[in-house]
Amino acid sequence: MEFKKRILVTGGAGFIGSHMVRLLVNTYSDYLVINFDKLTYAGNLENLKDIENKSNYVFFQGDVSSEKDVNEVFKTHQISDVIHLAAESHVDRSIESPMEFVQTNVLGTVNLLQHAKNFWEDKGKHVFHHVSTDEVYGSLGNTGLFTEKTPYDPRSPYSSSKASSDHFVMAFYHTYGLSIKMSNCSNNYGSHHFPEKLIPLMIHNICNNKDLPVYGKGDNIRDWLWVEDHARAINEIFHHGRVGQSYNVGGLNEWTNLDLVEYLCDLMDKKLNRNIGASRKLIRFVKDRAGHDQRYAIDASKLKEELNWSPSVTFEEGLEKTVDWYLNNEEWINQVTSGDYQKYYSKHYNNR
Ligand code: NAD
Ligand code: TYD
């Protein structure tokens, strides 16, 4: 079959990437979706079991920072567009080993940009969409929101590597005329989220009656968005966003970590038929994260005004769907926590 587009989705076996791949494969039967993923600890093909046999889906195992792998996938599949999500994504791991973040997030992005630039003759016909984070803007005080004009001020090794990759993406637009689009999204939550990040970690620990480690006083604020709404936003920007522009993505949904964990505890108590208040007893305040950003909050009005995007679910609805998914997919949890997870967990949390 002659496909209209042949889209390379990097990091498609990860949390957000798998939702992106699923949305594209199920919505556009005339696109071929090539999921390019190294399958690190965070990548899992189980995330895509429901679509793996579709005729418009292909998996290619490779490393975004490898010239050989990227060259091979561009040639083999005649890539027409890129949606780039592959990254090392966990702030705590970036504090422990920053070089992996430079390798994948910075060098990997530049490697992809180079191949796209060299491979695509008519640059106006091909889109390179780079998926980034609001963390590049740094940390907010009690008031204000991040807009697309907020100066970059990354504080963690993770956000610094993402900020660096964003700058290279913009440089390839200005210098070489690559048709880039970029999105900077707030914290995502939803199904298939690896249980090292706050929400899935808390759900997993509540299920197992394990301590719930809240960093510092639990007063840091994050702005949460349901992952499927993020995938919808990327889809809109990829198809209809302006070239050379970045778009902030977020749902005006700020929570302190402690309020969120307590809400989750009560929701889980209901779902597990425990006495309300039982799970809250598991909360433990532990040593704070080094350089912990105080508050993130996104102004997504550009995306709403230009592309008419807004979240499709409330936080309460999204969180309930998420909890239900984890409770019904114990096998997935067992599988992703079977490798080095316990080792990571003990190293990171014991004696904290
Ligand atoms: P994730 O850690 O769940 O998944 C990352 C995926 O990338 C995994 O499948 C992994 O195997 C793959 N990968 C890692 N290194 C690779 C390499 N060298 N080559 C090829 N594949 C590699 O991450 P996520 O939470 O799904 O985030 C996806 C993207 O969205 C990232 O770029 C992240 O910065 C961005 N983002 C995430 C959030 C969030 O809340 N999770 C918010 C905004 C932006
Ligand atoms: P996380 O899910 O790692 O996302 P990010 O650091 O990219 O925002 O963390 C979300 C918030 O939760 C952040 O303020 C750190 C905090 N946190 C805890 O309090 N305990 C934990 O065990 C984890 C993983 C995070």
Do 35 and 57 meet the contact criterion of CB atoms below 8 Å apart? yes
CATH of domain 193-222+255-291+314-339: 3.90.25.10
Pairwise CA distance, residues 82 & 130, whole Å: 8
pLDDT at 341: 93
pLDDT at 351: 82
Q: Is the dihedral of CA 144, 150, 155, 156 positive or negative?
A: positive
* 156 Cα nearest atom in ligand 2: 6
Pairwise CA distance, residues 176 & 128, whole Å: 13
Q: What residues are labeled active site?
A: 134-135, 158
pLDDT greater than 90 at residue 287: yes
pLDDT at 75: 98
**From atom 44 of ligand 1, which residue's Cα is the shortest distance away?**
133
Residues 163, 169, 171: CA angle, nearest 5 degrees = 105
Q: What is the mean pLDDT of the chain?
A: 97
The 8-class DSSP code of residue 27 comes to H
User: Phi then psi for 216, rounded to 5 degrees?
Assistant: 60, -135
pLDDT in tens, 133-189: 999 999 999 999 999 999 999 999 999 999 999 999 999 999 999 999 999 999 999
Ligand nearest the Cα of residue 254 is 2
pLDDT at 1: 76
pLDDT in tens, 220-230: 999 999 999 99
Give 143-206 as a DSSP string.
S--B-TTSPP---SHHHHHHHHHHHHHHHHHHHH---EEEEEE-EEE-TT--TTSHHHHHHHHH
pLDDT at 63: 98
Superfamily of domain 5-188+224-249: NAD(P)-binding Rossmann-like Domain (3.40.50.720)
> CA nearest 54: which of 81, 98, 17, 23?
23
Q: What is the mean pLDDT of the segment spanning 2-25?
A: 98
Do 39 and 17 meet the contact criterion of CB atoms below 8 Å apart? no
Q: Is 109 in the pocket of ligand 1 (CB under 6 A)?
A: no
The percent of residues in the chain predicted with pLDDT above 70, rounded, is: 100
**From atom 3 of ligand 2, which residue's Cα is the shortest distance away?**
197
Ligand 2, from 137, 205, 255, 257: best to mutate by most atoms within 8 Å of Cβ? 257
Residues with CB under 6 A from ligand 2: 91, 187, 197-198, 201, 213-215, 220, 222, 257, 289
Q: Is the dihedral of CA 91, 322, 234, 245 positive or negative?
A: negative
pLDDT greater than 90 at residue 304: yes
> CA nearest 104: which of 78, 143, 65?
65
Ligand nearest the Cα of residue 106 is 1
Q: Which residues lie closer than 8 Å to 156 by C-beta, 6 or more apart?
A: 91, 94, 95, 135, 291, 293
Residue 86 pLDDT class (50, 70, 90 cuts): very high
pLDDT in tens, 65-83: 999 999 999 999 999 999 9
Residues of the chain with CATH 3.40.50.720: 5-188+224-249
pLDDT at 70: 98
Q: Is 21 in the pocket of ligand 1 (CB under 6 A)?
A: no
Give 235-293 as a DSSP string.
HHHHHHSPTT-EEEE--S-EEEHHHHHHHHHHHHHHHTTPPTTTGGGGEEEEPPPTT--
pLDDT at 213: 98
Q: What is the mean pLDDT of the segment spanning 6-26?
A: 98
Length of the chain: 352
pLDDT greater than 80 at residue 343: yes
Answer yes or no: pTM beyond 0.95: yes
> CA nearest 52: which of 74, 67, 37?
37
